[in-house]
């Protein structure tokens, strides 16, 4: 329960309302996974390129979430 006595709902992703669906650490884990997958033997260059792009997207998302967390902290001061 929150201080006001109201309950926060749980989303379908299992996270509390107001919390990101994915956090910075999870983004970095996904980025690492897709980067590893992009280097697998026996896959086409196109598949490797797509997997690398997904990895970069997760790295970018981690950066945006970090920036958002910083802004949120600064706004609460």
- For residue 56, is it within any domain? yes
In the predicted model, what is the mean pLDDT of the chain?
86
Q: Is residue 15 part of a domain?
A: no
pLDDT digits (tens, 9 = 90+) for 30-64: 999 999 999 999 999 999 999 999 999 999 999 99
Which pLDDT does position 4 carry in this prediction?
Answer: 45
Is 8 within the bounds of a domain? no
Q: Total domain count for the chain?
A: 1
Contacts of 17 (CB under 8 A, 6+ apart): 8, 9, 10, 11
Q: Is residue 17 part of a domain?
A: no
Cβ atoms < 10 Å from Cβ of 57: 14
Q: Name, in order, each residue with C-beta under 8 angstroms of 52's C-beta and a sequence gap of 6 or more.
A: 34, 35, 38
What was the pLDDT predicted at 77?
85
Look up the domain containing 46 and give its range: 24-75
Indicate whether 6 pLDDT > 50. no
Three-state DSSP at 21 gives coil
Q: Is the pTM of this model over 0.85?
A: no
């Amino acid at each position: 329960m929150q201080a006001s006595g109201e309950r926060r709902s749980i989303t379908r992703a299992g996270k509390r309302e107001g919390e990101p669906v994915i956090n910075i650490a999870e983004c970095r884990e996904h980025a690492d996974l897709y980067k590893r997958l992009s280097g697998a033997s026996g896959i086409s260059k196109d598949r490797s390129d797509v997997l690398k792009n997904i990895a970069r997207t997760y790295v970018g998302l981690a950066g945006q979430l970090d920036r958002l967390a910083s802004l949120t902290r600064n706004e609460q001061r």
